[in-house]
Structure 1
Amino acid sequence: MPKIKAFAGYLVNAARAKQVVSPAYDSVSPQQRRQFAEANPQNFLNTMRLLEDFPADARPTQSQLLSSNKANLDKLLDDGSYEKLKTPCLFVYQLGSGAHVQTGVVCEIGIEEYEKGLVRKHENTRSDKEDLLTRYQKVVGVSSSPICLAYSQSDAIDDYVARLIEKPDDLEFISEDGAEQVVKQRVWRIENSVEQQKLIALFSKIEVTYLTDGHHRAASGYRYAEMMREQHNNRGGNHGDEPYNQLLVALFPDNQLNLLPFHRCVKDLNGLDETQIVAALRACFAVKKLRGQTAFDASQHGEFGMYINQNWYRLNVLPQCIEQTDPVNSLDVTLLQNLILEPIFGIKDMRGDARLDYIAGVSGDAGIKQKCSEGWKVVFACYATSIEQLMKVADADLLMPPKSTYFDPKPRSGIFVRLK
């Protein structure tokens, strides 16, 4: 497994791709999404609006917003922005950012892969967000953001995909949508049945896949399938091949993925001063002040940067303070939480404490300086979680702390549209 499948639906019109394809939704703030959507009325983002995108005094009801999303989708499908696929297709999808290139396969997989644990996860999901996405599928009735899955790299798959992309692509465009990086995207349509069957056979030899981006989309897809199955069973029919029984996914080999860290920032010093904080850190870290240094990149597992009062410190965790055999407790983000944020700064709730916030590594040093200019008193720069660490956690059926991984570049929404 996985048993990949071609799917019917729509592909964005090449001439309109740059205008229509949406930024990666979770890489921009609600305010940025609102500004972008209003400035780009023909962008697919207008089919995915959330209440938080609107000012509190000008918010529509949830029903009104979903109806608006559906109307915007229908307009895009009718105005020539999309080409309806004549036959079910697989796609090769390539993302390039700077020197980094990753090439995957966009397809369907059966929801039973998720049910049986063959799609392994590493994050918790929030029920309120699942509720919203499930309702979105019911009202708007579309999948447009492939759930990203990693698989253990296969030479056979790599070689065959390389052959498939020797032919001219069907779509090539540059995303310049206000995201932190410019992303070149290319798509090859695989509609030949012989080529499809070859890819299907190659992927059937992969034992499991790993969720890298889209935990809530996968969970809500499962909930939507359960809801639709109940309705269809009551009418005497549910065969397993219905669109609601499938997930739209993008499969990437693990060795091509680029993981960046999520840095942590703290609003106040918990009643301490810089000297007291440094003294407390020495219980578990080798601490060095980096005089005159204006930026910091952690270079290895167990290394952190601390930016406080316009000074950088390098923190290297002492070996005896790492639980080397525990796949979760040995993560850098867990070490930071257990050895610094909770005992020194009094932050126990990584998800809900208003004194803690996160900075995606893609924003770089500028993102850190921006947070400090907003009044955040200390920033901890982290080393990126590896794909191997992610897989170990998922294989052990464990969960990572919030904001443990940031994959970049992210697939965009609105390239592929599949009706539910």
Structure 2
Amino acid sequence: MAVIKAFKGIRPVQDLASKIAALPYDVMNSDEAREMVIGNPHSFLHVDRPEIDLDPSIDIHDPKVYEKARENLDRMITTGEFTQDEKPCLYIYRQIMNGRSQTGIVFCASIDDYMNNIIKKHEFTRADKEEDRINHVDYCDANTGPIFLTYKEDQIASEIIEAWIENESKRKPVYNFVAEDGITHIVWVIDNDIIISELTDLFKEIDYLYIADGHHRSASAVKVGLKRRAENPNYTGEEEFNYFLAVAFPDNDLMVMDYNRVVKDLNGLTKDELIDKLQEKFIVTESTSEEPLKPAKKHTFGMYVEDKWYLLEAKDGIYDPEDPIDSLDVAILQNNVLTPILGIEDVRTSDRIDFIGGIRGLKELEKRVHKDMKIAFSMYATEVHDIMDVADIGEVMPPKSTWFEPKLRSGLFIHQLK
């Protein structure tokens, strides 16, 4: 049973929504963020990446950075760049990318659901990244970017939720703009108490919510909530700090893109020696096309080395088809190629491997091989049900398994903790 809560959203004034809305803080570094805000003082990166307004010599985890985040957020609210809804609302958020749309409900999720595994995870988190967002949420006294959740569409409640979304989205939206990357963002406000109550009850019939993206932000939001509980021992559970900002999409709306790999060397092998080793576990076929090779089905891989593309087809017996993790393509490549042949034991820490999201295109793989890498692997995209299967058994996905597009914009919804 998933608990959702309406909230008094702090939102951009209509004329500034397109200028304020920004990509999530974790898809760019500080230098890139500085470039992105040139000519746009309204960008929410001034809140989510506040170091861009400080001297570059200052450590990005210095308290001054979080103080600047709070200062910038307060200023944007005070100067009228944001407005706050007078009553608790839910919101509909639709994104359209290349003609394909995904539409979800924006609400506050329960930190207890997170701790009780009603909200399921599929990734490990790093303490340093958690600490950064804990400080950011704590200083700002707000959740500034929604956690990307999903739920199984094949439930009766989800069908009714979809019908409500369809009905409410016939009204005039409060925002409708195309961002600089060509993605359309549309938002509707649900302020009708009857509809809010209906949707809240419907989510109680949803068995689980799954984190698609935002594991560090959700873990950090929960820890700030627990910190506030400790500071307020007489809390009732209804206080805003017991909840965090989220948006949930039905799983059939989502698109997971390929997350490809490039490696710096062949671990001392020649190309012919590499192919000989690969043929023990894969059927290896040289491509006759000059175009990059995009795998067309699971358990197949494209490989680019010495200006040629090859198709690798996994042979039977090299993975357990009944094991949700072992049968993942990222696991098959790791267990049969990256570790035993190329000598990469830990993809999290090795400086010999890099990862390229499918949004960059396969030509980017060729570019990197010609520039600073030796070999590239194109992947068949992980499917949403694969993520859910792994989460359902309480396990985690291998590193760099998923790349969701489009990315949720930060700054369109802010949830205050007080």
Asked if structure 2 preserves the Cα contact closer than 8 Å seen for 1:51 and 1:62, the reply is no
Asked if structure 2 preserves the Cα contact closer than 8 Å seen for 1:34 and 1:54, the reply is no
Asked if structure 1 preserves the Cα contact closer than 8 Å seen for 2:362 and 2:378, the reply is no
Which position in structure 1 is the counterpart of 2:128? 128
Which position in structure 2 is the counterpart of 1:86? 86
Q: Distance in 2 between matches of 1:41 and 1:369?
A: 37
Q: Which amino acid aligns with 1:162?
A: E
Relative to structure 1, is the Cα distance of residues 59 and 35 closer, same or farther in structure 2, using a 3 angstrom cutoff?
farther
Which position in structure 2 is the counterpart of 1:46? 46
Aligned partner (choices 317, 327, 330) of residue 327 of structure 2: 330
Relative to structure 1, is the Cα distance of residues 334 and 287 closer, same or farther in structure 2, using a 3 angstrom cutoff?
same
CA apart distance, 1:72: 1.2
Q: Distance in 1 between matches of 2:211 and 2:60?
A: 33
Q: 1:139 and 2:136 equivalent?
A: no
Q: Which amino acid aligns with 1:10?
A: I
Aligned partner (choices 371, 374, 378) of residue 377 of structure 1: 374
TM-score by length of 2: 0.95
TM-score by length of 1: 0.95
Relative to structure 1, is the Cα distance of residues 60 and 17 closer, same or farther in structure 2, using a 3 angstrom cutoff?
same
Asked if structure 1 preserves the Cα contact closer than 8 Å seen for 2:46 and 2:53, the reply is no
Aligned partner (choices 344, 353, 364) of residue 367 of structure 1: 364
Q: Which amino acid aligns with 1:68?
A: K
- Please identify, of 292-301 and 380-389, the stretch whose mean Cα deviation from structure 2 is larger: 292-301
Which position in structure 2 is the counterpart of 1:344? 341
Pairs within 5 Å for 1:147-296? 147-153=147-153, 154-176=158-180, 181-233=181-233, 237-296=234-293
Other structure's SS at 1:319 match:
coil
Which position in structure 2 is the counterpart of 1:307? 304
- Please identify, of 332-341 and 70-79, the stretch whose mean Cα deviation from structure 2 is larger: 70-79
CA apart distance, 1:41: 2.6
Relative to structure 1, is the Cα distance of residues 291 and 29 closer, same or farther in structure 2, using a 3 angstrom cutoff?
farther
Which position in structure 1 is the counterpart of 2:112? 112
- Please identify, of 150-159 and 19-28, the stretch whose mean Cα deviation from structure 2 is larger: 19-28
CA displacement 1:359-415 (0-9 Å, x = unmatched): 001111242233224311111000111111111100000011111011111110000
Asked if structure 2 preserves the Cα contact closer than 8 Å seen for 1:92 and 1:189, the reply is yes
Q: Distance in 2 between matches of 1:25 and 1:225?
A: 21
Relative to structure 1, is the Cα distance of residues 231 and 401 closer, same or farther in structure 2, using a 3 angstrom cutoff?
same
Other structure's SS at 1:72 match:
helix
Q: Distance in 2 between matches of 1:244 and 1:293?
A: 55
Matched-pair identity in %: 32
Q: 1:407 and 2:411 equivalent?
A: no
Q: Which amino acid aligns with 2:228?
A: M
Asked if structure 2 preserves the Cα contact closer than 8 Å seen for 1:33 and 1:53, the reply is no
Q: Distance in 1 between matches of 2:166 and 2:91?
A: 13
Aligned residue-pair number: 413
C-alpha RMSD of the superposition: 1.7
Asked if structure 1 preserves the Cα contact closer than 8 Å seen for 2:301 and 2:312, the reply is yes
CA displacement 1:108-142 (0-9 Å, x = unmatched): 12211001110011000001111111111111222
Q: Which amino acid aligns with 1:296?
A: L
Q: Which amino acid aligns with 2:102?
A: Q
Relative to structure 1, is the Cα distance of residues 29 and 137 closer, same or farther in structure 2, using a 3 angstrom cutoff?
closer
Other structure's SS at 1:340 match:
helix
Q: Distance in 2 between matches of 1:55 and 1:328?
A: 44
Asked if structure 2 preserves the Cα contact closer than 8 Å seen for 1:10 and 1:417, the reply is yes
CA displacement 1:258-295 (0-9 Å, x = unmatched): 01011011011111111111111001100011134231
CA displacement 1:317-338 (0-9 Å, x = unmatched): 0122121111111100000100
Other structure's SS at 1:109 match:
strand
- Please identify, of 84-93 and 30-39, the stretch whose mean Cα deviation from structure 2 is larger: 30-39
Q: Distance in 1 between matches of 2:341 and 2:52?
A: 33
Structure 2 alignment gaps of length 5 or more: none
Q: Which amino acid aligns with 1:313?
A: Y
CA displacement 1:209-229 (0-9 Å, x = unmatched): 111011011111111111111
